[in-house]
Amino acid sequence: MVSGSGICAKRVVVDARHHMLGRLASVLAKELLNGQKVVVVRCEEICISGGLVRQKMKYMRFLRKRMNTKPSHGPIHFRAPAKILWRTIRGMIPHKTKRGAAALARLKAYEGVPAPYDKTKRMVIPDALKVLRLQKGHKYCLLGRLSSEVGWNYYDTIKELEKKRKERAQVAYERRKQLAKLRVKAEKAAEERLGPQLEIIAPINRAASCQIVVDHSGHGNFSSIQSAIDNIPSNNKNWVCIFIKAGIYREKVRIPYEKPFIILKGVGKRKTQIIWDDHESLAASPTFASFADNVVVKCMSFVNSYNSPRSDNKNPRMPAVAAMVAGDKTAFYRCGFSGVQDTLWDDQGRHYFDRCTIEGAVDFIFGGGQSIYENCVINVVGSTLQPGLHGFITAQGRTNPNDANGFVFKGGTVIGTGSTLLGRPWRGYARVLFYSVNLTNVVDPKGWEAWNSIGHE
């Protein structure tokens, strides 16, 4: 890097306005030889020391120079500002060598600020700025003005285009200021309406990095997920992020009610998996159980392996829960839930599932939660059922007509094997809604089935 240039990016855009031609060319020549890609804009605003009349006389003498052997085929003299800068830099580079030719190929120069560089961050080079390098009182002229005097015909056109560009930029700037004011106003209105709830939501955005790392191979802070959770103090008031590296974690994980504000972040639902084999008892079988409020889980899977592998498993089909959620304000993003019967126990509280994959055969999404399943994949594994039997996706447990709970499936798709119904009521006032969900031929056209034919099933 050349001292004072400040160039270190893969490609830089230099705004040549009010830079001295010689010093700018010298700095850029060195950077180009070092492998830097450079784009120079607004070349017509480059400054040359000396008055316009003097510079014009010098350049006109230069233009009159011809070849001695064939004057009519004299050298090509550039008049455009960008070409004059290019030629000046070329004179400082060994352009006839391979290294010099490659360096010159990394340079682009333009009059004005063409797209897409009008929306790119532009830089200046302090070593070449007129305000720092030209002595006070000394005359100077603009390269664009000189070019116009010696035959370049687009000076006024470029000025008009630059004027329009600045007007558009000013409009965009005013619009951004207006949007910023509206944002402040909206945040103030939201704070007045939501009040203390914002204090709970806002810290999620500040949890940019995970403080705890779990690696089953022993290269993290903990080798098991449960030990990392146990390490978090009870009644915690700040968000704690636990990063779980790729691997299969064979353990039961439980987040107790006194440990809220936890973020579990995996590598991906195919790469970070929690697996356990338990069955029969709903309360004891969950591979993952969360009782705390304010829990966020990302990019991992929960598997109850009691009925796995499914192709030749000899175990009788029983409730075997992969995940149970009983806390309020819990969210799952890009997670997987795998089982056969009673896979996901959406017990109680407000929950959100985004782009998750949930698979099972019988009542594999059940409970009394108030939940939204958005853009989720529901995979029916009908091959685990006896021939002639169909499965059930949901078994919702709303017990009172005034209860606010229910399941809403928005977007996503239902795929799989065998035949399934959308659900059956676990309690008398069950409420389930499928909205804009792609229902493949695995879903029985009958849709629903009563369980006990009581209440408002």
DSSP string, 337-362: EE-SBS-EEE-SSEEEEES-EEEESE
Q: Is 60 helix (H, G, I), strand (E, B) or coil?
A: helix
Rounded to whole angstroms, the Cα distance separating 372 from 408 reads 5
* Residue 457 pLDDT: 54
Rounded to whole angstroms, the Cα distance separating 239 from 208 reads 10
Q: Is 363 helix (H, G, I), strand (E, B) or coil?
A: strand
Amino acid at the residue 128: A
Rounded to whole angstroms, the Cα distance separating 272 from 297 reads 12
Beta-carbon contacts of residue 245 (< 8 Å; ≥ 6 apart): 213, 214, 215, 216, 217, 219, 220, 267, 272
Q: Which tokens in the block code for residue 309?
A: 């592998």
Measured CA to CA in angstroms, residue 443 lies from 80, 375, 426, 430, 436 at distances of: 70, 18, 19, 19, 15
Closest CA relative to residue 143, chosen from 94, 77, 79: 79
Beta-carbon contacts of residue 23 (< 8 Å; ≥ 6 apart): 127, 128, 133
- Phi then psi for residue 52, to 5 deg, are -65, -45
- 286 upstream amide cis, omega within 30 of 0: no
Cβ contact 449:421 at 8 Å: yes
- 309 upstream amide cis, omega within 30 of 0: yes
Q: Which tokens in the block code for residue 366?
A: 């059940």
Cβ contact 452:414 at 8 Å: no
> What are the contacts of 353-360 at 24+ separation with CB within 8 A?
356/269, 356/332, 357/269, 357/301, 359/416, 360/391
- In which residue are the tokens 């630059």 written? 162
Rounded to whole angstroms, the Cα distance separating 279 from 179 reads 55
Four-point Cα dihedral 284, 287, 293, 295, nearest 10: 180
Rounded to whole angstroms, the Cα distance separating 363 from 79 reads 79
- Phi then psi for residue 425, to 5 deg, are -80, 125
Catalytic residues: 363
Using alpha carbons only, how large is the chain's radius of gyration in Å?
A: 35
Rounded to whole angstroms, the Cα distance separating 203 from 159 reads 49
H-type alpha helices, 151-241: 155-194, 197-201, 203-206, 225-230
Beta-sheet pairing, 47-49 with 140-142: antiparallel
Amino acid at the residue 334: R
Cβ contact 92:107 at 8 Å: no
- Phi then psi for residue 97, to 5 deg, are -95, 165
Low-confidence stretches of the chain (pLDDT < 70) are 1-9, 67, 71-75, 195-210, 309-315, 452-457
* Residue 208 pLDDT: 44
